[in-house]
Structure 1
């Protein structure tokens, strides 16, 4: 009997009452991947999550989840319920949450756990809050690290894309010593992943798939142009022929005289920002671990484990789009800058007034240009993570029954720093654009009208600064557990477990002081800090009812209860119950019901307001084919919301709208209920007949409902409900300037309503006997999504949106009806080979555009020479061997595809050599 994920009672893992998928070292190595998150995100029950394909702390900003971006981090999300609803444990204990100096995430960064320290990963595909506490609504990922090892294990791998980029180096070494009473394992890991740039893939050359220039009718290029763009409200020195619809573009050719050479903005003038991003973000990870066990007596052990990881990563965006003026939509001082008539580069002879108190009424809307002179926006993270676990465990006898106990303490630290070079200080920019008489000392008048190349190093030196932010997470977790058999029934012993946990968590985010003061020109943010503690007790009982009787080879029931008291969210009690029935030895049927809860995280409770730039379109814009033109209802609702009735409003920002999100101290815990029914068929006849050395077929049905889900209302839904239905609650969340431009969409976190998902997991595993032709294996693993919907409140009633079979772009997530993975492997003598196929069913965007199905294929060959006692292994592999591109997506935040669901375009090949003493 051993402890398995899904129960606190020691039991036979073959009689598990919950569906558990085990990913061992051989399965990890079979993928050729260097990040555990990438391996786990391939599971059909997984639904993506943040990974190193996500490059979004630049112009996208902080996503509306209360946790910050976590750039360079990696997460696991089960059942499409969000990574924060999947609990990640290490050796059955909590692990400190990650951060990347851009917020206070509520999730473990899987990139902080060295791959070389991992023995296997157990994925419980069912909610189990009664056993494991908060966050386990969708399931539990338990990472089991190496506890014992004898001798040396080492591996070195190099991989690269066929295009010649994305080079990856992966080195792991560990050494184990095992004595009579003492065992020690220690090791180190190093991973270096180089970038894949959007400029080097066809799908990402322009903001939209298939686009060949900014003049294409589809649009998408930015109004923050290289030459500069000005939107005016009526300057006396401009004649009507120089503007179009109230907007004009200043041409850089002759910037000295008023009204020198203005012309109307045309689509060719817009800036193509697409080639300046990452498809795969670069990172380096240094890791080390040690695990030691000392037998203090025949029945008592002392264990200590430590994990350290250093991550240096980077993400990147195009040159800074500098927006100033009352319609700029920055939400800070940049929106109030007036460009004085005495500025030597102001060609109009009059002050461009932003209309702030004490000034003339606003006479211009915005001035925009790309600050190419400052270089690309680059965000560099340095993240240190340390976790130390110490504990005692042992056993004792009560009569003829053996009882097991353990007591553990976990201390975790995560410290992150982020550097962004080239941000603009709005206060200094205002001085450099203001009256010349006030531009004294180090101040250098700024040329915002001169276009690319006109900003001198002296101008940049005065207005730019290096933005530095940091975040921290702290964990203290104390647990004690006791389990054993209470008494015997005719069908077997009654098992019992009880335990206590006390946890303290603290998180903080400290943006650069200039950013906190509202003086930056990129994504604004405010500092945040919070903590909580919890006290929790649980109990579990397993009762065998029948054994080896007709139609009841075995029958047992299992139940658990947990009571938790949070300093921030009050008390909660959850229950679970399950039944296992074997009508005969080869067939296991199971069913369970579980209640769950998730306490609001530190970021969700205490996170300060921050902006995310959502890549969505405003339905109120007056352009050909827009709802404003085609629907009188939409037009009336938009005008009521603040859009000018004369039709002068056209959305200028290239499809990015500001969404303001933030924590909410009035949040209540989420609750859930989960039904699970399934069965496992492992026919003895297949083994007895020689057809298989092992064969099993497993099918599970799940139905999960989350009530009071913590999230903002989707900004696209808010806009649509305001424009289409005039919903008062939605319209109140959309704020516009006097000219109709959206200055903010409120997206504060709240208990929005309900999330509902249900579906089927299907698994087949077969391994042949060893024959003259070798041994063969086949595994099939699939997920059929029957339902996924979200229900949010409206002014009257609620609105339910079904996402099954769809994709949405903010945040990126696709919901295919079916995903499946199949692996065929073969081995004979010194040689082994495997072929893996991953299938993703087609999905649609909300406007009906289809993302066709994809099948990714991977191959791997291994050679373990017998002359080296098969201690050496040489591996060669190719992922995406048929060079399948991801389906093009118009609404996705990523570079025209969904990086949480599909692979980076291109074939990836790798070579690995490994040694085991």
Structure 2
């Protein structure tokens, strides 16, 4: 028998934050049909369902009031969310998945945040990962979003270590809603165009319903050159007295006219083809000869989306209903980077020396493109008997680097749900689902290393070697390369590479990825018997899931022969079978000091094809001493099995930007263990001997560090222990506060056996701090190569393992109220998160790397304030987002002998608002402005940890775009 408790259930959902629609819920609660409900975090549908875990809710009204095109834009304002791993503003340099939008609960990474659609898993948008791309979920089709923070693996399975983001779509809607919107920034970029249509219809008795949504959105690019903070290449001077003092310009040493190195001399060219001295940044009154990369970079990548979503139900009879869900999303993303920075060590691996002459029929023949100044200053440096030189050059003739990605996501779920009687009434649901994400990416701006090498080795064919009666032409030395169309290349000066040579050395790239997810599951829930305090609820079920991922680049990219990142193919799959059960027990009710006391528990047992058996559980309780106060607590063990990339990814090249060499400035006479370990590297010792006894690095050394990340098939699952304790106050007995809700929740999450890539800085510090076993991950240059100093870091590799530990601890506070104020109605909500502690440990027993309060992770204080006032046809809504002060990474500061939390940036406050006006009740005109006061992002420039390349700030956390506005019209027909 169902009880009349919907008003109470709605109130409890509101504990987490249904803000702008709270008054609507309160008004309609008494009129709604009485039914059991189910909240995120539990499989038991029951009267008055209350989550013992912290639960926050964002409603469709919140989404509409934000004007958000993408759900990530709204979620990022919630203080429980950390900096996203991937977004429009931090993925321009991504080799794949650019423009994807992910979420990151508690700063524990997207792989530990489980995103659900209507309580079921959704296919990943990133190959080899579990992260869902929020681009593919249409915002206008969402009824609410429930944020459950804390371990939930017992209820939902792997990946819910930090919590769950459950997206609930609209249901049983009849009619047509049209929404059209346009906008841009005050700099006339970041343009936004959006159109959506949602239609639904039901049969005469409303027993069956179908809904269809179509949406299109187009978000324009924002280029670095169009913002004063990022228009010119810059770099922190690295002065411990003032790390925010910037060297500007700090142009790249890879210039379009080339930079050429002989034995004792180096030089470049001016626009007229004259040889001049090299001067990167225009010091001493000279014109700069370096290259401003910021002229070509992007802050936000342009993203186009076409969305189709549908849901439907059909009653077979009074007890059984068929349902289905369908989603299709087509996303188009374009990235833009500066032309490729090519060094001779990219072409001649190991030495970097380019031969300036060739042995033809026993006679040395000079490459005529090599100028006399260089030819007369070079000798045989690599022992092959040929004079050789070194160069760096920006390949402007090849064109800008960048990619165009077409990403398509498809998902279909269907099942049967209803009730049956077996001694008592039981609810049941069974479902199957299939999802797939495919990405096809084409890229440009790279070069074919093998062809480039042949093109560099050229000579004047005075003896008519190729027998074409032309003794003045310059030809390639290798006869096989000549037969395959080799064209000699001239690097010396601006625009000296001919179109024919470009065609020969150019290497357009491609990347094809596919992620497939298959699901099947079933569950029952109901009440098994009665106790004096109420009915005992029970749920049980099974799930099967298969995941498969394939990522394959073109052959040159796989082999690293396009002078860029080597990206070998990654393929893997796994499946898991799971059983779960849950029970809720009412212990006491209507007793002295006990209005209600309920206990709950859940357990899940799974078998993975990769890691074997896993177990998760949680226990919780709710105690209400009086009707207006509720105390809640949970303790949970969550597990996360490794994803496909973590298990199967072969060595994949990356270029870290925040590495500090622990050997820098070490002297040849320093007796410390670190100095001794540094001098053991032959290149470091040679560097010291050549630089007055001090290990010295240049700009190219700082920009020339690479490394390889790799997976590990021997990984095991990680375990997360979470504890939450909270109090909820709903003073319904106090008339002025009857719509007031206050929550305070403490959270503590600790992860053991965490799956981590060994941090590169940790590897370096410990390699030269006594752990020689880590030195096999470090490769240094033995000699000077292509502008890089002898002994400088060439590769620092990072393997994946189960050695890590993670922890976070803090407090969430929310307060909300809705009621009449003056002639209208006010809705107000405040949410604040205080992050007391957060840290990682790369290996057992290692010192903690604290990240709470750091720029690249999360400040200790984040808050949001939502206010909405409705007066007749006029409405105004505002959101204030506060990001507290934050500090540079403590490991970075330690390299400079600076204490933790000694250097940082101040807080930032962003204000968004929206005005609405109803026209004849069916039409609503709205105007909004984001970052209304044009709050500037803090200057986290290149060279500082947390920098987003191209933005000169942490663009995932702060707004690097500036003030934006939009205008829209919504019609309900």
Q: TM-score, normalised by structure 2?
A: 0.85
1:854 aligns with 2:854: no
Distance 1:332 1:106 in 2: 36
Cross-structure match for 2:931: 880
* Equivalent residue runs for 1:320-339 within 5 Å: 320-325=340-345, 328=346, 338=355
Report the CA distance between 1:731 and its aligned residue: 3.1
* Cα 1:262/1:820, change in 2 over 3 Å: closer
Distance 2:387 2:520 in 1: 60
Secondary structure (helix, strand or coil) at the match of 1:452 reads: coil
1:437 aligns with 2:472: no
Report the CA distance between 1:145 and its aligned residue: 1.5
Q: Which of 949, 959, 964 is equivalent to 1:903?
A: 959
Distance 1:660 1:702 in 2: 36
Cross-structure match for 2:434: 411
Cross-structure match for 2:171: 147
Cross-structure match for 1:477: 519
* Cα 1:541/1:340, change in 2 over 3 Å: farther
Report the CA distance between 1:397 and its aligned residue: 2.2
Which stretch has the larger CA shift, 165-174 or 841-850? 841-850
Distance 1:463 1:702 in 2: 56
Cross-structure match for 2:336: 316
Which stretch has the larger CA shift, 340-349 or 894-903? 340-349
Distance 1:409 1:350 in 2: 74
Distance 1:778 1:378 in 2: 45
Which string of whole-angstrom CA distances, capped at 9 and with x for unpartnered residues, describes residues 401-435 of structure 1? 32101110010011101111221000100110124
Distance 1:75 1:583 in 2: 40
Q: Which of 224, 230, 234 is equivalent to 1:204?
A: 230
Cross-structure match for 1:245: none
Q: Which of 485, 493, 502 is equivalent to 2:544?
A: 502
Cross-structure match for 1:292: 312
Report the CA distance between 1:858 and its aligned residue: 1.2
Secondary structure (helix, strand or coil) at the match of 1:359 reads: coil
Distance 1:627 1:653 in 2: 16
Q: Which of 834, 840, 851 is equivalent to 2:883?
A: 840
Which stretch has the larger CA shift, 691-700 or 216-225? 216-225
* Cα 1:261/1:842, change in 2 over 3 Å: closer
Which stretch has the larger CA shift, 181-190 or 499-508? 181-190
* Cα 1:899/1:55, change in 2 over 3 Å: closer
Secondary structure (helix, strand or coil) at the match of 1:164 reads: coil
Distance 2:356 2:70 in 1: 50
Distance 2:594 2:385 in 1: 87
Distance 2:878 2:551 in 1: 45
Secondary structure (helix, strand or coil) at the match of 1:432 reads: helix
Distance 2:918 2:280 in 1: 65
Secondary structure (helix, strand or coil) at the match of 2:477 reads: helix
Distance 2:387 2:128 in 1: 39
Secondary structure (helix, strand or coil) at the match of 2:706 reads: strand
Cross-structure match for 1:554: 596
Report the CA distance between 1:218 and its aligned residue: 7.0
Secondary structure (helix, strand or coil) at the match of 1:269 reads: coil
Report the CA distance between 1:893 and its aligned residue: 2.9
**Unmatched 5+ residue regions in structure 1?**
63-68, 235-239, 243-247, 808-812
Distance 2:724 2:168 in 1: 25
Cross-structure match for 1:671: 719
Which string of whole-angstrom CA distances, capped at 9 and with x for unpartnered residues, describes residues 613-644 of structure 1? 1112443575xxx5669987454443234413
Which string of whole-angstrom CA distances, capped at 9 and with x for unpartnered residues, describes residues 512-570 of structure 1? 11211331122221011010010000000111000011111000110011001000111
1:750 aligns with 2:797: no
* Cα 1:827/1:461, change in 2 over 3 Å: same
Cross-structure match for 1:47: 82
* Cα 1:155/1:459, change in 2 over 3 Å: same
Distance 2:564 2:247 in 1: 29
Distance 1:275 1:332 in 2: 30
Cross-structure match for 2:285: none
Which string of whole-angstrom CA distances, capped at 9 and with x for unpartnered residues, describes residues 149-175 of structure 1? 101011111111011111101111111
Secondary structure (helix, strand or coil) at the match of 1:136 reads: coil
Secondary structure (helix, strand or coil) at the match of 2:493 reads: coil
Distance 1:630 1:567 in 2: 56
Q: Over the residues paired in the alignment, what is the CA RMSD in angstroms?
A: 2.6
Distance 2:704 2:938 in 1: 22
Cross-structure match for 2:823: 773
Cross-structure match for 1:785: 835
* Contact kept? 1:534, 1:567, Cα under 8 Å: yes
Cross-structure match for 2:948: 893
Distance 1:545 1:334 in 2: 75
Which string of whole-angstrom CA distances, capped at 9 and with x for unpartnered residues, describes residues 495-528 of structure 1? 0000100111100100111211331122221011
* Equivalent residue runs for 1:28-43 within 5 Å: 28-43=63-78
Report the CA distance between 1:832 and its aligned residue: 1.0
* Contact kept? 1:25, 1:119, Cα under 8 Å: yes
* Contact kept? 1:116, 1:188, Cα under 8 Å: no
* Cα 1:294/1:264, change in 2 over 3 Å: closer
Secondary structure (helix, strand or coil) at the match of 1:465 reads: coil
Secondary structure (helix, strand or coil) at the match of 1:381 reads: strand
1:97 aligns with 2:127: no
Report the CA distance between 1:906 and its aligned residue: 1.5
* Cα 1:361/1:541, change in 2 over 3 Å: farther
Distance 1:407 1:352 in 2: 76
Which string of whole-angstrom CA distances, capped at 9 and with x for unpartnered residues, describes residues 785-810 of structure 1? 0001111228xx52321112222xxx
**Unmatched 5+ residue regions in structure 2?**
1-35, 238-244, 283-287, 359-365, 459-475, 783-789, 894-901
* Cα 1:631/1:57, change in 2 over 3 Å: farther
* Contact kept? 1:816, 1:842, Cα under 8 Å: yes
Cross-structure match for 1:223: 253
Cross-structure match for 2:108: 81
Secondary structure (helix, strand or coil) at the match of 1:131 reads: helix
Q: Which of 244, 252, 269 is equivalent to 2:289?
A: 269
Distance 1:572 1:14 in 2: 28
Q: Which of 581, 593, 611 is equivalent to 2:653?
A: 611
* Cα 1:673/1:360, change in 2 over 3 Å: farther
Distance 2:229 2:876 in 1: 32
* Cα 1:884/1:631, change in 2 over 3 Å: farther
Distance 1:332 1:79 in 2: 43
* Equivalent residue runs for 1:364-383 within 5 Å: 364=389, 366-383=390-407
Distance 1:565 1:335 in 2: 51
Secondary structure (helix, strand or coil) at the match of 1:130 reads: helix
1:543 aligns with 2:599: no
Secondary structure (helix, strand or coil) at the match of 2:809 reads: strand
Distance 1:631 1:827 in 2: 72
Report the CA distance between 1:217 and its aligned residue: 4.8
Q: Which of 143, 147, 159 is equivalent to 1:135?
A: 159
Report the CA distance between 1:51 and its aligned residue: 4.2
Secondary structure (helix, strand or coil) at the match of 1:497 reads: strand
Which stretch has the larger CA shift, 537-546 or 627-636? 627-636
Which string of whole-angstrom CA distances, capped at 9 and with x for unpartnered residues, describes residues 377-398 of structure 1? 1111100100000101110123
Query: How many residue pairs align between the two structures?
Result: 863
Distance 1:147 1:822 in 2: 29
Report the CA distance between 1:127 and its aligned residue: 1.3
Q: Which of 726, 729, 741 is equivalent to 1:696?
A: 741
Distance 2:628 2:137 in 1: 38
Cross-structure match for 1:65: none
Which string of whole-angstrom CA distances, capped at 9 and with x for unpartnered residues, describes residues 174-204 of structure 1? 1101013421101201010001111111111
